[in-house]
Amino acid sequence: MIQIVVKRDGRVVGYNEEKIKAAIRKAMLATEIGEDEGLINKIATRIGTRGDERMTVEEIQDLVELELMKSSRKEVARRYIAYRDQRSRARKAKTRDMFVEII
């Protein structure tokens, strides 16, 4: 059961299932079918109980991807993966810009 989450910047925070639900909900709302509260709760519960006690944000997001891919809502998995990729690129660009600014 997940208790502790290690953020990308190294901070350690308590696990918050609501953040998982919000991310899944956003991906669902970006599809034609929309939101499925039952599936959101099912996936969030699985992740919270199956995860290790201490996990990184990336590890948790990987679990969300896997659960979405196993579900009947493959289009939600695609949206979730695309959003993660977009955010990863934005983080890299920001890091690159900050590095150039320092130099």
**What is the pLDDT confidence band of residue 102, given thresholds at 50, 70 and 90?**
confident
**What is the pLDDT confidence band of residue 98, given thresholds at 50, 70 and 90?**
low
Average per-residue pLDDT for the chain:
92
**Under a CB-based contact definition with an 8 Å cutoff, are residues 87 and 37 in contact?**
no
Helix, strand or coil, per DSSP, at residue 4: strand
What's the N-to-C CA distance of the chain in angstroms?
A: 44
Following DSSP, what letter does each residue of 38-75 receive, concatenated?
A: HHHHHHHHHHHHHS-SEEEHHHHHHHHHHHHHHSS-HH
Residue, of 93 and 59, whose pLDDT is higher: 59
pTM: 0.84
pLDDT digits (tens, 9 = 90+) for 25-54: 999 999 999 999 999 999 999 999 998 999
Amino acid at 27: A
